[in-house]
Structure formats: C-alpha cells, structure tokens
C-alpha cells in the first residue's frame, strides 16, 4: 500500500506502543521509544522496540503506510482509503467509523477521541482534543448529590456530550483529501449488511443481556438455531447516512 500523503498518523500505534513498553517496567526503554516517536526516526524506534519487547506480533518498518485497528474489516477499509489517494487522516477517520460499527463497545458516535497527526515534511504535530464534555447544566457536586456511588458510570448523569464526529470533521478540514461522505460509506455498508459476531461482541452482549432496558433491544436479541451470527445496526446506519 502506498500513501503519498505527507501525513503519518500515530493515532493508535503510538498509544499501543507506549502501553506495551510501560508494562515492562523499563523507564529507559520507554524514554527511548518516546524520543523516537517524537523525532520520527522509525529505524531507531524499531531497534529499541526489538530490545526486550514482548508481543506476539512481528515488528516491521513501514516506509509508506501502516494501518492498525481492532478489526480486520476496519483495517481493510483504511487500506482501501489510502489506495484511493486519501490521506492518513482520511484512513483513520474511516477506520474509526467502521470500528464503531464492529466494536461499538469500544468507540462510536456517542463518544469522543484524541487524534495526534504528524506532518512529515514540516515535522509539525497537531493534536485534536475531541473528548466528551460535561453538559452545560452539570455541577461540581452533582454526583455527590445523587447519593448513588455508580451515578457517574450508569444512568442519565453519566452521559456526556459526544465529541467524536466534531473531532473527525475538524481533522478532515485540516488534513483530509477525499470527500467527507466517502469516509462514511464503508461504515454505512457494514451497519446495513452486518458484521461477524466475534468473541469480544459476545462478551459485551452477555454483560447487557440481563439489563431490562429499552436500549437492550438495539444491541441484543435472542439468536434462533441456524441463524448467522451477525451484528446489524439499522438505527446507526440511518445516523451515519445523515
């Protein structure tokens, strides 16, 4: 895959690398990796990561493009975006949208995000903070006043104002190449056609299956014998289309 864009996006790779290195308890190794990421010296980064790095995945140097997601289909979509001439930011947005369909428990339109974008030519780093924000009527003591230890995690008070779509839009205005709508179409197709129901989705479904809420029916239904295990999200498809 060749990406001629001048933007290299570390939006997932750097975070995963940092967490993996920290788990080794090696301060020196972590500092070296951080310096390599900031300087963009990928060969040096490769050498440092190969030194005592614990991972089942093989490491490599990718001089043109690399895609990392939690789902094969999302990775393929991002790869296709690059082949079509999209920037790394375009590919990241399309991958995030697809991940929101395949693994809605991890990210989606109702959440937020950070995005770090590195411009190779200028060596400039742009960081977008699009994390969720507290509603305007929130107060400093609202969780204490609720007298519920889980009020900040479950229920109406736990809901924040989403920022993901706005963050994607700002990133696209700055670094996007392909039309905005083109980045949504793969996720729309996945929501309409369905995606395989994997072990991660099953674990999530088991968690919510016992909850008696209206929201349950949007994500969980009884599987009859002989049916294909596919996740379909009609309401999400409609939202993405808008």
Give the pLDDT of the chain (242 residues) as one tens digit per residue. Answer: 233 333 333 333 333 332 222 333 333 333 443 333 444 444 454 454 444 545 566 677 777 888 888 888 999 999 999 999 999 999 999 999 999 988 888 888 889 999 999 998 899 999 999 999 999 989 888 888 888 888 888 788 888 999 999 999 999 999 999 999 999 999 999 988 888 777 777 776 666 666 555 655 555 555 544 444 455 566 767 777 77
Q: Where do the structural domains in the chain lie, given as residue ranges?
A: 7-130+163-192
Helix residue spans in the chain (DSSP H): 13-22, 27-39, 42-50, 72-83, 88-102, 142-145, 164-175, 180-193, 199-208, 216-219, 234-241
131 known ligand binder: yes
| Number of other residues whose CB lies within 10 A of the CB of residue 165 | 20
What is this structure's pTM?
A: 0.67
pLDDT for the residue numbered 216: 57
């Amino acid at each position: 895959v060749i990406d001629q864009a001048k933007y290299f996006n570390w939006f997932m790779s750097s975070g995963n690398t940092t967490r993996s290195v920290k788990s080794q308890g090696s301060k020196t190794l972590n500092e070296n990796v951080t310096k390599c990421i900031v300087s963009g010296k990928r060969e040096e980064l490769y050498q440092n990561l190969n030194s005592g790095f614990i991972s089942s995945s093989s490491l490599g140097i990718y001089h043109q493009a690399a895609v990392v997601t939690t789902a094969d289909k999302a990775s393929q979509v991002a790869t296709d975006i690059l082949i079509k001439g999209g920037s790394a930011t375009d590919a990241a947005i399309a991958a995030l949208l697809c991940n929101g369909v395949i693994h809605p428990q991890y990210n989606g339109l109702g959440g937020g995000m950070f995005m770090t974008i590195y411009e190779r030519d200028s060596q400039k780093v742009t960081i977008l903070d699009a994390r969720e924000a507290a509603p305007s009527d929130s107060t400093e003591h609202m969780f204490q006043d609720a007298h519920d230890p889980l009020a900040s995690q479950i229920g109406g008070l736990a809901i924040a104002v989403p920022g993901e779509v706005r963050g994607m839009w700002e990133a696209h205005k700055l670094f996007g190449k392909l039309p905005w709508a083109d980045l949504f179409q793969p996720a729309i197709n996945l929501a309409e056609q369905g995606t395989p129901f994997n072990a991660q989705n099953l674990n999530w479904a088991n968690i919510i299956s016992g909850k008696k809420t209206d929201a349950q029916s949007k994500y969980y239904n009884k599987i009859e014998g002989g049916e294909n295990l596919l996740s379909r999200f009609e309401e999400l498809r409609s939202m993405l289309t808008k």
